[in-house]
A and B are shown apart, each in its own frame.
Chain A
Amino acid sequence: MQMNRKDLEQFIEAKEYVDTLLIPLSPVSINGDEQGKKVVFQGELLQIFCNEIEKYYTGRIFLFPPYYYLVNGSYQNEVERLNKWVGAAKEHPFEHVFFLTFDHFWKKQEKNIDGHLLWFPTMTSGDLHSKENQSLIKEQIEQIKQLITSYW
């Protein structure tokens, strides 16, 4: 389910079935330098991952809007802000909370975060529509799906 009115209504009705929260952690940058392009590309990719996962497990996963943060901001505050942010969502008793990111920063902060952090390295540039990349992405999504179901 996603953050829109239709899904939200369904969620309230079927709350006991939706026990998993998925939150993309997406850095943003408006710099045109290599780092900036990389960050934006990975943000696009992250959204594809999350949408695909949500599509498969619509009835059990609530996909939160991405948590955006500036790539060159102070990360220290981000952990605190993120926990506050997630705290609001966790008023509904989600049994499983997953964070999905390609930014290795979070890996080091894993223990301070309230939930399971899924970080893995992936492409930093390329054509998202080419056949090869599509099958690679599909394969990765498949594996994340298996990981998530193993928690259920």
Chain B
Amino acid sequence: MSEKKKQVSRRQFLNYTLTGVGGFMAAGMLAPMVRFAIDPVLQTRERGGFSAVVDVDELTNEPQRFDWQIDQVDAWYESKVTRSAWVYKKEDGTIMALSPICTHLGCVVSWQGNDDYPDQFYCPCHGGRYTKEGVNIPNTPPPAPLALYEQKEEEGTLFLGKAIPREGA
């Protein structure tokens, strides 16, 4: 009665088995390799508290303002917060990334914010002023220089981290 049933030959059986098992093994080897290959694409622009801000090529000797967003998580909220920095290249090529928050009472300063003081950061609230290096100018309200952002450069992109306050001048 089994005469009519199609028989699987030994050769066929081995072929099927080997293809199946081999296929699994190949997939097991390839999957991590594919993941490695596309990893840079999947990587977020934010790691270790650093965010990609701007291509280094775009920087000039004039401070420019750049904004970026970070995810801020505190006890009650998770929110997107916009950070800003005034960034420029010094003569010797090092990059300065200054926080725009006035050290007096926390307003937002701007480069050349007042026509009377070109080449200075100016705070619109109480007339606080800072040099191009972000150092507060004596006899204006701010008690300390503008904070400096932690920075690192990777593959031509500037990453900025936390703003580190500096001691008063």
Contact = CB atoms under 8 A, between A and B. Distances in A.
Interface in A46-67: 55-60
A17 interface: yes
Contact of B124 (A17, A18, A149): A149
B118 to A, nearest CB: 19
A17 B141 CA distance: 10
Interface residues of B, number: 11
Contacts of B162: none
Contacts of A149: 124
Contacts of A10: 105
A17 B102 CA distance: 13
A14 interface: yes
Contacts of B90: none
Nearest to B104: A59
Interface residues of A, number: 11
Majority DSSP secondary structure for residues of B touching A: loop
A17 B125 contact: yes
A146 B37 CA distance: 51
B102 to A, nearest CB: 6
Contacts of B124: 56-57, 149
Interface string B119-160: 000011110000000000000010000000000000000000
A18 B141 CA distance: 13
A58 B106 contact: yes
B18 interface: no
Contact of B108 (A17, A18, A56): A56
A10 B106 CA distance: 11
Nearest to B101: A58
26 contacts: A10-B105, A14-B105, A17-B104, A17-B105, A17-B125, A17-B126, A17-B141, A18-B105, A55-B108, A56-B107, A56-B108, A56-B124, A57-B107, A57-B108, A57-B125, A58-B106, A58-B107, A58-B108, A58-B125, A59-B102, A59-B104, A59-B106, A59-B107, A59-B123, A60-B126, A149-B124
Q: What 8 pairs between A and B have smallest CB-CB spacing?
A: A59-B105, A60-B125, A58-B106, A59-B107, A59-B125, A56-B108, A59-B106, A58-B107
Interface of A: 10, 14, 17-18, 55-60, 149
Given A56-B108, A59-B125, A60-B126, 19 more contacts: A10-B105, A14-B105, A17-B104, A17-B105, A17-B125, A17-B141, A55-B108, A56-B124, A57-B107, A57-B108, A57-B125, A58-B105, A58-B107, A58-B108, A58-B125, A59-B104, A59-B106, A60-B105, A60-B125
